[in-house]
């Protein structure tokens, strides 16, 4: 959720809604293309387009639930807000393609109090997490048999949970406590094939479920006007500054080793003509994306949350809900969300 100060109410049709609709349709298209590609099919063959629909419908459901959680909380507190702006992302060579960069709403009037800011801030992560769990449970309860993975990897070895002698790039999603717990509850590895984290992107509901957990964690980082920033500001007042600084340092700590390792690899490769593997120790516990998120936090989102007119502290019920949301952050967080290997 983002905030702006201008207000322009209108009882008639707002032509700006066409932007929302157009972005939604474009995101539906790019997400469907991504769903086709995750199944190793040619996204530019129209006969395969329907193979991406399960993925695109699921990811728009998760993102829509998150943003409408913000929207309806804003409406409840009589804060003017836009409908969600979905952000499409077309396939770009060399980039992971989820088909979208998420969605955002904007508030068009001042949020009056910490209570209202809290409700609007946590409405998104809570609704998005519930939608994510629904998608994940559906995916786990409807896991296809081994023949599904064999359609994409005919030589897949089920004992190794890998493709022997495979060449080229591989991708593994990072494990989270929430994902691991749901897999434990709703699957039985002794009687069914449960894909490893290096293969779940072929399974639309599992891929979207993992993505939903990832988005929840990223939004709950307690910085600035991220959802987590709204949360710690309304819970702890001025103390949120210390929390935001600590979260920013954590992002740098998690991201800088990977960035430094990449730069060293490129430098060595430039000199020797052969790009080596990892150079720095423990870099497998670092992800360069967190460094980028730190830059976004510092330069775009800003570290500290702006004040609201009514600084009355939250009631006990909201404080408990806030602690629950911080728990969601922990169980949805992965130190290394993506690992690309050879």
Domain parsing of the chain, residue ranges: 2-341
pLDDT reading at 132 higher than 80: yes
How confident is residue 165, by pLDDT bands cut at 50, 70 and 90? low
Q: Quickly state the pLDDT bin for 11 (edges 50, 70, 90).
A: low
What separation in angstroms does the CA of 133 have from each of 98, 200, 243, 300, 324? Answer: 18, 16, 28, 30, 16
**The pLDDT value given to residue 270:** 76
What is the pLDDT at residue 2?
59
Average pLDDT on 42-53 reads 88
Q: What does each C-alpha distance from 314 to 115, 233, 240 come to in angstroms?
A: 6, 11, 14
User: What is the predicted pLDDT for the residue at 217?
Assistant: 97
Higher pLDDT, 170 or 308: 308
Q: What is the pTM of this model?
A: 0.92
């Amino acid at each position: 959720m983002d905030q702006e100060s201008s207000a322009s109410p209108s009882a008639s049709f707002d032509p700006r809604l066409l932007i929302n609709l157009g972005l939604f349709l474009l995101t539906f298209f790019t997400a469907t293309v991504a769903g086709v590609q995750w199944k190793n099919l040619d996204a530019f063959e129209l006969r395969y387009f329907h193979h991406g629909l399960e993925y695109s419908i699921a990811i728009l459901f998760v993102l829509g639930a998150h943003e409408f959680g913000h929207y309806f909380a804003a409406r409840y507190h009589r804060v003017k807000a836009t409908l969600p702006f979905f952000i499409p992302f077309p396939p770009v060579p060399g980039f992971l393609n989820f088909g979208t960069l998420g969605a955002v709403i904007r508030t068009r009037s001042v949020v009056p109090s910490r209570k209202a800011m809290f409700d609007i801030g946590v409405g998104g992560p809570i609704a998005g997490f519930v939608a994510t769990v629904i998608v994940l449970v559906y995916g786990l309860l409807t896991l296809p048999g081994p023949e599904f993975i064999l359609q994409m990897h005919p030589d897949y070895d089920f004992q190794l949970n890998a493709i022997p002698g495979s060449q080229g790039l591989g991708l593994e999603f990072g494990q989270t406590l929430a994902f691991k717990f749901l897999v434990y509850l709703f699957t039985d590895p002794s009687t069914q094939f449960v894909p490893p984290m290096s293969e779940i992107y072929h399974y639309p509901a599992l891929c979207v479920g993992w993505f939903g957990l990832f988005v929840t964690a990223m939004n709950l980082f307690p910085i600035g006007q991220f959802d987590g920033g709204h949360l710690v500001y309304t819970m702890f007042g001025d103390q949120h500054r210390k929390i935001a600084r600590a979260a920013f340092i954590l992002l740098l700590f998690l991201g800088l080793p990977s960035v430094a390792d990449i730069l060293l690899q490129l430098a060595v490769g430039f000199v020797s003509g052969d790009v080596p593997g990892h150079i720095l120790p423990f870099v497998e516990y670092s992800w360069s994306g967190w460094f980028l998120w730190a830059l976004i936090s510092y330069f775009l989102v800003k570290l500290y949350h702006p004040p609201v007119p009514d600084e009355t502290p939250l009631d006990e019920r909201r404080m408990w809900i806030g602690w629950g949301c911080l728990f969601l952050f922990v169980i949805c967080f992965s130190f290394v969300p993506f690992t690309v290997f050879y």
